[in-house]
Structure 1
Amino acid sequence: MQTGRATVLVEPNRIETWNVPIVDPEPGGALVRLVVGGVCGSDVHLLSGEAGVMPFPIILGHEGIGRIEKLGGIDKDYAGVPVKPGDLVYWSPIAACHRCYSCNVLDETPCDNSRFFEDAKKPNWGSYADFAWLPNGLAFFKLPDGSDPLAVAALGCALPTVLRGFDRCGPVRVGETVVVQGAGPVGLSAVLVAAQAGARDVIVVDGVDQRLDVARSLGATATISLKDNPEERRRKIYDLTGPAGPTLVVEAAGVLPAFPEGVDLTGIHGRYIILGLWGAIGTQPISPRDMTTKNLTIAGATFPKPKHYYLAMHLAAQLQEKVPLAGLVSHRFAIEDAPKALEAVRKGQVVKAVIDPELAPA
C-alpha cells in the first residue's frame, strides 16, 4: 500500500513522523496532495497540552492548501464551482455533521458532533502531511484562478477567525479607532480587515519589531511596543485616539494578561472582541464596574464557518497584488522538522511558518 509522511502528536510534547496509508476518497470526499500546511499558534498549545486533552494520536495541522489527486464521485466544490484533479483547493478543517441543532437551527459552529481531529491511524485531514483525506461534509473550495497559494496560506485560519469575529460581534465601521493586541497571524488579519474596512486609526501592540513592521505594511497607522509598561502603552494609545479612547479593541495576543489590559484600553461605548485566547486556559481579574461605567460590550468568537474560509480565500486573492501577503510566509519547514517549526512559532521568531512537503529535512 502506498504511504505518505505525517507529523503525529502521540501525546503532549511527543511528536513523531509516521508513514500513513494513502486512502482513496469516500463518496463525496476528496484526496489532496498538500502544497502547504500552515503552522498555527494553536498547534503550539496542542503540543504543550495547554489546550486540553486531545484524542491522541493526532496528525497536526488544520490549515492546508492542496492539489486534488482524486475525487469521490463529485465534480464541484462546496460553493458549486467545478473541480477536477489538479485543481488547488483550500478547506475548512471542521467536519460538521449537518444533522444537529447547532448546524440546522442555530447555524453555528462548532456543531454538536464536530470532528476536529481524527485518529492518526485512520484517514485524516491533518495538514502537516504529504496528503490530506477530506471526508464528505468537510467543506473545500477551489482557489480562484491566478491566486497565489502562499497569499492564501499566509494568514491561515487567522483571517477566517477574524472574519468570524467581526461577523458575530459586529463589523469594523468606517472611521473607527481600532487597537489590536498582538501582531501574530490573528492580529495581522485584524489589521488587514480593519484597514480595508476604512478604520481611521489601526494601532497595534506587540513586542517584536519585525511583526510591528509587517503590521504597518498591512495598514496599521501606529505601533506600540510591549517594551513600554502598561501605563505608558495606555497613554500613547489615548494620545492617538483622544480622550474617548478606542471604539474597538481586538485581543489577538493569546496570553491571559492581555485580557484585563484590553478591558482597560477599550474606550467608552466601545467593543472588546476576544479572538486569541482560545488555547490559554485560565482566569484573569477585571472590574465589572468598568463594563458598566464605560458601557462596554465584550464578546468572543472562534471556530469559523465554511463561509469564512471561502471569504478569506477570496479576500486574499483579491488583495495579493496590493498587499504583500505572500511575503508574510517567513519560514518553511520540512514535515520531519515540524518540532522546529512549532518551537520557532512558540518563541515568536517567525511572521508565518508553513510546512512544505517538498522540502528535505534540515
Structure 2
Amino acid sequence: MRGRATVLVEKNRLETWDLPIADPQAGGILVRTVVGGVCGSDVHIASGEAGEMPFPIILGHEGVGRIEKLGAGVAKDYAGVDVKVGDLVVWSPIPLCGRCYSCSVLQQTPCENTQYFEHANKPNWGSYSDFAWLPSGMSFYRLPDHADPLAVAALGCALPTVLRGFDRCGPIALNDAVVVQGAGPVGLSAVLVAAQMGARCIVVIDKAPARLAAAMKLGATATVSLDLPVEERRRAVYDLTGPGGPDVVVEAAGVLPAFPEGVDLTGPHGRYIVLGLWGAIGTQPISPRDLTVKNLTIGGAAFPAPRNYYHAMHLAVRLQDKVPLADLISHRFSIADAGKALEATRTGIATKAVIDPSIA
C-alpha cells in the first residue's frame, strides 16, 4: 500500500512524495486521513521562522482520520473507549515517553524525549497525507457516533492550545472583559471558550473581515480593526471594556509586535496569556514597570496535553449544532496544493484551511 504526502524538503521547498505505508506497530494504529488542518505554525515551520527542522519532514499536526488497521493489542482508545476499523479518531501529535521528569513528576507537555517529527521516509504521523501512522504512546480518541468530523477539525490544535492556556494561566471568570489579539483559529478558539465560560465582553482585534465575522458568530461582542493606529485601537478597546480595561488579554496573533501592545492593553490586575508566538522567534521591548504598577500576570502555553485534545473534541461535538464550527473551514486544498494552503493561511485569506486527501 502506498500513499501521498506533502514533504518539506528544505525551507520554502515542498514536494509531493509517493510513499510506502507501513502496518501499525504493536500498540499503534494506521488511519486514513479524512482532513488535515493547516495551522499557522506550519507556515512558520515551512518558512524557517520557527528554526531549523530535521528535513525532510511530512507537514501537518492536526488530523481527523478513519482507522485503517489496528496494531496488536489495540482494542480501545486512550480514554478507554472501544475502537474498531472504520472508526473516526483525532490524535494528539506529540508522543510522550511517560518515563521522564516532565511526564511523571511535573505531568506537563512536552516531555524531554518528545519527538515532533519523523523522517519523511519512515512511518509517519504527519497529516498532510493520505495515511497517518500513529505509534504506540501517541494518544488518540474515538469521535462520538454523531460527531461531525469537520466541526472537530475546524479548530484543529488551536482549541486544545487555548484549553492548555487556560489550564496553565487560569480560566475566564464570570463577567470578565476579554480581548483577543487575532482571529485566526487560536483567536477564534479563545472567543469560543471565553463565551462558554461567561465572559461579559469579548473584543477581537484583526483586519480580515471574514475572520472578524466568524468571531462574532462564535460569541465575540465587538471587533476592532487592526487597520486603526495602535493608540486608536487602545481607545476603542477601553471604550468597549470600560475604564478598568480588559481582565484578560489573549495573544493569538502570532506576530511579535502584538506582545508589547498586549501588555499595554491588559488592565490593572489583569492577565496576559501568550499563545500565538510559538513560531515568531525574536524580541520586543516592554516596560517592566508596567508589570508592577498594574500588578500584571503574564503567562504562556504551548504543546497541548492529550487531555486538552480529548476535551476539545468533546466541546466541539457538543457545540456543533449550536455554533457554526464546520463553516469555519473556508478553503480546502489537495495534498499537491499544500503550498497554496500555507499561503492562504499566511495572508489571512482563509479563516481555516485544510488538506483534503479526497481532492485529486
Q: TM-score range by the shorter chain?
A: over 0.9
Which consecutive segments of 4 or more residues in structure 1 shift more than 6 A? none
For 2:43 and 2:227, locate their aligned partners in 1 and report how far apart those are by CA, in whole Å. 24
The letter for the 1-side match of 2:49 is E
Q: How far is 1:241 from its partner?
A: 1.4
Q: CA deviation at 1:183?
A: 0.1
How far, CA to CA, are the matches of 2:353 and 2:240 in structure 1?
33
Match in the other structure for 1:64: 63
1:163 aligned residue:
163
Q: What 5-or-longer segments of structure 2 have no aligned partner?
A: none
Give me the CA root mean square deviation: 0.5
| C-alpha separation in 1, matches of 2:55 and 2:243 | 50
Alignment correspondent of 1:183: 183
Aligned pair count reads: 359
SS of residue matched to 2:23? coil
1:291-310 deviations in Å (ceiling 9; x for gaps): 00000000000000000000
Q: Deviations over 1:274-321 (max 9, x none)?
A: 000000000000000000000000000000000000000000000000
**1:21 alignment partner in structure 2:** 20
How far apart, CA to CA, are the structure 1 residues paired with 2:61 and 2:54?
Answer: 15
The aligned counterpart of 1:12 is 11
Paired residues for 1:270-349 under 5 Å:
270-349=270-349
TM-superposed deviation, 1:248? 0.3
Note the alpha carbon deviations across 1:115-166, whole angstroms, 9 max, x for none.
1110001000000000000000000000011110000000000000000000
Question: Any idea what SS the aligned residue of 2:330 has?
Answer: strand
Taking the TM superposition and a 5 Å limit, the aligned residue runs for 1:198-277 are: 198-277=198-277
Return the alpha-carbon distance in structure 2 between the equivalents of residues 155 and 280 of structure 1: 20
Q: Equivalent residue for 1:125?
A: 125
Gaps of 5+ in 1: none
Matched AA of 1:259: F
Cα deviation for residue 350 of structure 1 reads 0.3
Distance 1:227 1:353 in 2: 24
Whole-Å separation in 1 of the counterparts to 2:66 and 2:211: 31
For residues 75-114 of structure 1, what are the structure 2 equivalents within 5 Å?
75-114=75-114
SS in 1 for 2:67: strand
Secondary structure class of the residue paired with 2:42: helix
List per-residue Cα deviations over 1:30-79 (Å, max 9, x = no partner).
00000000000000000100000111100000000000011112100000
Instruction: Give the Cα separation in 2 of the matches to 1:273 and 1:113.
Output: 26
* 2:31 alignment counterpart: 32
SS in structure 2 at match of 1:132: strand
Whole-angstrom distance in 1 between the partners of 2:287 and 2:262: 12
Q: What is the rounded CA distance, in whole Å, between the counterparts of 2:98 and 2:120 in structure 1? A: 24
Q: Which amino acid in 2 is paired with 1:126?
A: G
Q: Separation in 2 of the partners of 1:278 and 1:180?
A: 16
- Within 1, Cα distance between the matches of 2:60 and 2:301? 20
Indicate the SS of the match to 2:323: coil
Separation in structure 1 between the aligned mates of residue 111 and residue 151 of structure 2, nearest angstrom:
29
Structure 1 Cα separation of the partners of residues 259 and 280 of structure 2: 11
Measure how far apart 1:242 and its partner are. Answer: 1.4
The residue type paired with residue 2 of structure 2 is T
* Cα deviation, residue 240, structure 1: 1.4
Q: Does 2:45 correspond to 1:50?
A: no
Give the distance between the partners of 2:240 and 2:348, measured in 1 at CA: 27
Structure-1-length-normalised TM-score: 0.99
One-letter amino acid of the counterpart of residue 168, structure 1: R
Q: Which amino acid aligns with 1:20?
A: L
For residues 211 and 19 of structure 1, the distance between their equivalents in structure 2, rounded to whole angstroms, comes to 35
User: Equivalents in 2 of 1:346, 1:182: separation in Å?
Assistant: 13
Q: Which residue of 2 aligns with 1:116?
A: 116
Q: Return the alpha-carbon distance in structure 1 between the equivalents of residues 91 and 109 of structure 2.
A: 15
Which letter maps to 2:10? E
Query: Which one-letter code corresponds to 1:159 in the other structure?
Result: L
Deviation of 1:227 (Å)? 1.1
Q: Structure 2 counterpart of 1:43, which letter?
A: D
* C-alpha distance in 2 between matches for 1:65 and 1:241: 38
For 2:194 and 2:348, locate their aligned partners in 1 and report how far apart those are by CA, in whole Å.
Answer: 23
Amino acid at match of 2:108: E
Q: Distance in 2 between matches of 1:240 and 1:134?
A: 46
Partner of residue 195, structure 2: 195
Letter in 2 for 1:270: G
